[in-house]
């Protein structure tokens, strides 16, 4: 049984699973396929527009492993997005509608509490 798929995604070396040496990307492909099938979608590649994978940190090794895993499943690069938490937050902020009286101005410290109000 595999208990740390995240840790495996950070490796280049093969992993021994039930007497079989598997590349990390092969295990990721099996994991992704299982998770996506769990959604009840038939013909995954045909019926999925985009899969987003968000990790706390995204290393070059993880990117390579996920790319190989998605390719093995038949996904093209336009059908998946790999991002870390920072990128995820950035895309979230960009997708929000501006509310009157709220803005982040140059020089503002984002870690401090800032109360803005519109009159």
Cα 63 to the center of its chain, rounded Å = 10
Positive/negative CA dihedral, 38, 43, 49, 53: positive
Please return the burial class of 93, using the count of CB atoms within 10 Å of its CB with bins 0-12, 13-18 and 19+. exposed
- Report the pLDDT value the prediction gives residue 89, as an integer from 0 to 100: 87
Residue 2: closest CA among 21, 25, 18: 18
Residue range 12-61, pLDDT digits in tens? 999 988 889 999 999 999 999 999 988 888 899 999 999 999 999 999 99
User: What does the alpha-carbon distance between residue 42 and residue 105 come to, in Å, rounded to a whole number?
Assistant: 47
């Amino acid at each position: 049984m595999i208990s740390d798929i995240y840790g495996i995604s950070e490796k280049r070396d093969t992993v021994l699973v039930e007497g079989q040496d598997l590349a990390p990307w092969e295990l990721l492909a099996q994991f992704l396929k299982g998770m996506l099938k769990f959604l009840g979608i038939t013909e995954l590649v045909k019926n999925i527009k985009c899969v987003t994978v968000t990790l706390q940190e995204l290393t070059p090794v993880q990117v390579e492993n996920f790319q190989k895993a998605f390719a093995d499943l038949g996904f093209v690069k336009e059908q998946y997005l790999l991002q870390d938490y920072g990128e995820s937050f950035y895309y979230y902020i960009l997708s929000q509608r501006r509310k009157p009286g709220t803005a982040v101005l140059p020089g503002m410290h984002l870690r401090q509490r800032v109360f803005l109000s519109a009159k």
